[in-house]
């Protein structure tokens, strides 16, 4: 891969500098975040935290209150929870465990951060191709039974947006030393929690589930996620990492969001209603574009395929101040693929009409 190909979305600062414009002039549809500002109640809570001791004092090195809130939410023991500096930090520790177990199977196309994490520990991995045609049915059966020691799964899958059923993933726990399931987008999906592997963690010490709060609540700048696994494993991770990986404001935000059910439920309902309405509408609109196939998605991003390379289209969109995801960093995809993060109706129309004009 060339060094200029972004391995993540959300490269707004770099793109603004390249184009010689301000960041707030760019419509960012490359990062898979919800298109809303964080809940007002969270903003007010953080202002109060700023006036308190969240900046002056070190965070609780055990993060016990945050662990308690997360464990209460999921009805598990606090010892099975480890908050982290975004899901990315926790993937690094999962990769250390995976590297000690043997060879990892990485379904492709897939999130490149798994490779990054495994490379930290010289971990061995193989690519296992996923079918690139699927039906709108959800959830779907996970289609792979890799011959490997470890298997990494994203549910719903990034970048395709497919939602896998819990029943189809559970058999993997019998045949692999370790199963790592990244559920960063699951809370965005209406009824998605029914497919979460978290209820299986109690009975399967070889299971790691990683969650993110940044996608759902639009707080990527705070960097906050958590891992759910066996207490023994997470105690080991705690001993490996820096003493205070999560800052005081992120800790306060996580505590508020995971202990205030009314705020959490109200916001989640808002996101589910938006996704239920905008997702199918946007996919159908994109399907009308000449030379474009828009694939079914359960979550807040849309993978599109062109009958010819789409790199020039992406560049022309950037020049019109619309940033979408270059998919060449996903193994198994290439120049003909792009990923678009779902926006508000107004901005979805802007993206569609601009693409329509450029594809004439």
Question: Could you tell me if 53 and 159 lie in one domain?
Answer: yes
pLDDT digits (tens, 9 = 90+) for 108-135: 999 999 999 999 999 999 999 999 999 9
| Residue numbers of the domain that contains 279 | 12-31+264-358
**Greater model confidence, 283 or 14:** 283
Instruction: Report, as an integer, the average pLDDT of 45-66.
Output: 89
Question: Could you tell me if 241 and 279 lie in one domain?
Answer: no
pLDDT over threshold 50, residue 2: no
Instruction: Report, as an integer, the average pLDDT of 140-168.
Output: 97
d(CA 108, CA 225): 24
Question: Could you tell me if 253 and 268 lie in one domain?
Answer: no
Q: Can you give the C-alpha Rg of the chain in angstroms?
A: 20
Looking at residue 3, what is its pLDDT?
41
What percent of the chain clears pLDDT 90, i.e. is strictly above it? 86
CB 294 within 8 A of CB 321: no
Question: Could you tell me if 335 and 214 lie in one domain?
Answer: no
Question: Could you tell me if 121 and 228 lie in one domain?
Answer: yes
d(CA 346, CA 130): 34
Residue 3 belongs to some domain of the structure: no
Q: How many structural domains compose the chain?
A: 2
Residue 74 belongs to some domain of the structure: yes
What percent of the chain clears pLDDT 70, i.e. is strictly above it? 97
Instruction: Report, as an integer, the average pLDDT of 61-81.
Output: 97
CA angle 183, 192, 32 (to 5 degrees): 55
Instruction: Report, as an integer, the average pLDDT of 140-158.
Output: 97
Which CATH number goes with the domain that contains 81?
A: 3.40.640.10
CA-to-CA separations, 357 to 12, 230, 286, 316, 347, in angstroms, rounded: 23, 53, 13, 11, 15
Which residue among 259, 291, 314 closes a domain?
259
d(CA 155, CA 23): 31
Residue 206 belongs to some domain of the structure: yes
Residue 2 belongs to some domain of the structure: no
Looking at residue 57, what is its pLDDT?
87
d(CA 199, CA 292): 39
d(CA 338, CA 88): 23
d(CA 167, CA 31): 30
pLDDT over threshold 80, residue 5: no
Question: Could you tell me if 149 and 64 lie in one domain?
Answer: yes
Which residue among 210, 229, 259 closes a domain?
259
Q: Which residues pair with 129 in a beta bridge?
A: 108
Residue 143 belongs to some domain of the structure: yes
Which residue among 237, 259, 281 closes a domain?
259
Instruction: Report, as an integer, the average pLDDT of 18-33.
Output: 88
Question: Could you tell me if 100 and 20 lie in one domain?
Answer: no
Question: Could you tell me if 284 and 244 lie in one domain?
Answer: no
Instruction: Report, as an integer, the average pLDDT of 29-48.
Output: 92
CB 29 within 8 A of CB 286: no
pLDDT over threshold 90, residue 335: yes
Which CATH number goes with the domain that contains 22?
A: 3.90.1150.10
Could you give phi then psi for residue 305, rounded to 5 degrees? -125, 135
pLDDT over threshold 70, residue 26: yes
Residue 6 belongs to some domain of the structure: no
Pairing of strands 292-294, 301-306: antiparallel
d(CA 42, CA 325): 29
Instruction: Report, as an integer, the average pLDDT of 80-87.
Output: 96
Q: Give the pLDDT band (50/70/90) at residue 6.
A: low
pLDDT over threshold 70, residue 351: yes
Instruction: Report, as an integer, the average pLDDT of 73-101.
Output: 97
Question: Could you tell me if 59 and 200 lie in one domain?
Answer: yes
H or E element: which one contains 172? helix 172-175
Question: Could you tell me if 290 and 158 lie in one domain?
Answer: no
Question: Could you tell me if 62 and 85 lie in one domain?
Answer: yes
Instruction: Report, as an integer, the average pLDDT of 332-353.
Output: 96
Q: In what order do the strands lie in the sheet with 81-84?
A: 81-84, 225-228, 207-212, 178-182, 150-154, 103-108, 124-129
Average pLDDT of the residues of the chain? 93
**Greater model confidence, 19 or 218:** 218
pLDDT over threshold 70, residue 345: yes
d(CA 290, CA 340): 17
Cα–chain-centroid distance for residue 93? 17
Residue 162 belongs to some domain of the structure: yes
Looking at residue 1, what is its pLDDT?
35
Residue 1 belongs to some domain of the structure: no
Tell me the three state secondary structure of residue 148.
coil
pLDDT digits (tens, 9 = 90+) for 312-328: 999 999 999 999 999 99
Question: Could you tell me if 92 and 234 lie in one domain?
Answer: yes
């Amino acid at each position: 891969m060339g060094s200029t190909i972004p391995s993540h979305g959300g490269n707004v600062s770099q793109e603004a500098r390249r184009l010689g414009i301000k960041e707030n002039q760019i419509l960012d549809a490359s990062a898979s975040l919800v298109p809303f500002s964080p809940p007002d109640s969270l903003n007010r809570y953080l202002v109060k935290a700023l006036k308190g001791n969240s900046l002056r004092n070190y965070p609780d090195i055990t993060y016990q209150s945050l662990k308690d809130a997360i464990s209460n939410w999921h009805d598990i023991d606090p010892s099975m929870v480890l908050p982290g500096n975004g899901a990315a930090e926790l993937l690094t520790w999962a990769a250390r465990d995976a590297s000690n177990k043997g060879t990892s199977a990485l379904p492709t196309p897939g999130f490149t951060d798994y490779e990054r994490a495994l490379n930290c520990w010289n971990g061995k991995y193989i690519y296992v191709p996923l079918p690139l045609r699927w039906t709108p049915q959800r959830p779907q059966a996970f289609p792979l039974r890799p011959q490997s020691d470890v298997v990494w799964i994203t549910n719903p899958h990034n970048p395709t947006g497919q939602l896998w059923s819990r029943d189809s993933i559970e058999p993997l726990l019998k045949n692999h030393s370790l199963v790592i399931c990244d559920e960063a987008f699951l809370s965005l999906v209406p009824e998605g929690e029914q497919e979460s592997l978290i209820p299986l963690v109690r009975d399967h010490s070889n299971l790691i589930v990683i969650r993110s709060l940044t996608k759902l609540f639009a707080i990527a700048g705070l960097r906050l996620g958590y891992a759910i696994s066996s207490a023994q494993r997470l105690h080991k991770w705690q001993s490996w990492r820096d003493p205070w990986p999560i800052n005081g404001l992120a800790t306060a935000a996580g505590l508020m969001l995971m202990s205030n059910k009314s705020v959490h439920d109200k916001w989640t309902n808002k996101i589910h209603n938006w996704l239920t309405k905008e997702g199918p509408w946007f996919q159908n609109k994109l399907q009308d574009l000449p030379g474009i196939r828009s694939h079914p998605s359960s979550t807040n991003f849309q993978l599109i395929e062109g009958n010819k390379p789409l790199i020039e289209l992406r560049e022309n969109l950037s020049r019109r101040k619309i940033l979408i995801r270059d998919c060449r960093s996903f193994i198994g995809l290439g120049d003909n693929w792009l990923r678009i993060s779902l926006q508000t109706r107004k901005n979805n129309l802007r993206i569609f009409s601009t693409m329509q004009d450029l594809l004439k």
